[in-house]
Structure 1
Amino acid sequence: MSDDTLRDEILGDDGFANWLRGERLSGKALAEQAQARIQAELGAVSCANVNDYLCRLLDAEYEIYLETERELIEGAVEAFLAADDTTQSKYPALRSLLEGLQGRLATNREPREALIAVSKSLAPFYKLLTESFAQSRKTRAGGSAQYHVAFILNQLGYQGLYERQRTLNGTVDFLFPSLAMWEKDRRRCTVLSVKRTLRERYKQVFEELSATRGLTMYLMSTQTEAEAQKDITAEKVQVISQQNVYLVVRDAIKHARFASEASVLGFTEFFCNELPRLKAGWTSDAGSVSTG
């Protein structure tokens, strides 16, 4: 069996690694675990703790992800052997590898030699599995952060005053208060886009912004202070500001690097000053507009 054959079975949308991840590493499942953990730790969300709350949610979810990832990789062989025949038949090269190793263990009377043989034979399998999980780790964070932003909004009383993943001309992460209001009077609406890091992705927001036809937009970056040192530059902030976009970051990043920059808001300022101000425009005469 070649390494390429095993690679094809482990990687990809229908690969063994994705089957192994299943629902345990879905963004929603991880977010719910983090929310339960941090609620028990911090209690109710308020303006006094909203920055710490969102930061802890984001960081706790990553911790849970790493814990779950380790458990899945360590239990990968056991999970495959426990799977039904239909599942195992999807990965014939892997099944052949593990069946051959079981046979070798059963007949080899030298435990040391058997252990060495098994470890060498499984090395490519674990290398590919680890590679797949590492790639998934890089791509998961942006989408899962939206679950935490929605959680904070609901806890602060904004449930029913926003809709997620609405298609205007492009898809936006959060539309306040509703598509119905947008269709009636878009000047009263607010758009929030959530990204883990900026890198080049902040340019995607400009495409989303073009769908809003000049409305002010908020771009939230959930990255840590360490990540922001390299990623959130003064040049990027200037470009973002010129596009009529406010950048929303962790309070520590705002205070340490952009204290005098009006176009950069901390989490607390956004949730507890900016949104309440904007809310007046969403809710006045809102009874005439259905929020679906």
Structure 2
Amino acid sequence: MSPGRLSLALPRIAAMGDTARAILWMLASGVLFILLNGTLRLLAQQLDPFLTGFLRYSFGVLVMLPFIWRAGWAAYRPAAMAGQLWRGAVHTSGLLLWFIAVPHVPLADMTALGFTTPLFIMLGAVFFLKEAMVPARWLAALIGFCGVLVVVSPNLSGGAGPYSLIMLASSPLFAASFLITKALTRRDAPHVIVVWQSLTVALFSLPFALPNWEWPSPGQWAAFAFCGAIGTAGHICLTRAFKLADMSVTQPIKFLELVWASLFGLAIWGDVPGTATWIGGLIIFASTSWIARREARRAKPV
């Protein structure tokens, strides 16, 4: 985008309601997390999975150090340490299960299992955060999930055995972590939450990484630095989205990650999407576009 167009776009973005901005932040986080998960899956097949998880979050701390140094540690002090520790412990539990399974679960199966997390989040938001159970949001989420199943069902192998169940068990833990994040946004800024997530997950995952420690190659160190940067950016985008709107608004947008993954595969590896991918992608795009437009209109003052 040229500087002139950017100068015209920024006021429009600033004029958007909180819901519309939350959807944009969620879209940005989805693109970043597709890059992150693809890189982490490759690293977890080369190194010990627990070591991979520890180094990913350790580099998340490192990329934030210049910002902490410039602003001062006081700017990153959380309002309540207990909440940050609970979030770190729950997120680490989900990550340990995810990293156990990820080297063994085919990509299509991993995609389908991972997309159960938004449904757990929406359910938890109703029961624990007392968000309104808006039928349109649930309809959009269910239609989006059906689109995911259309894409992945031709390639589901079922050959991962118990590892599929282990990966499925990580979904409610990730959902709980994100629900805690939503609660934390009421008192802490997104950058504070993301820094403490990296610190606590790195701390809690270190004991699991040490038994099978091995030094990464220069290329793997570079990959971890890349993961630290885009992972931190992705979580900041995600936390900003949670701060601006109900979680049930943002979750249908997450299904678009499957569309981004297909486009990246086409652009980078030349993987031509099949008919099921196009049909499922259109279903996902239609459901997320519909809920985004509906929520944007709903948020406008009358």
Higher RCO (CA < 8 A, seq sep 6+)? 2
Task: Settle same-fold status: TM greater than 0.5.
Answer: no
- TM-score w.r.t. structure 2 length? 0.27
- TM-score w.r.t. structure 1 length? 0.28
The structure richer in strand per residue is 1
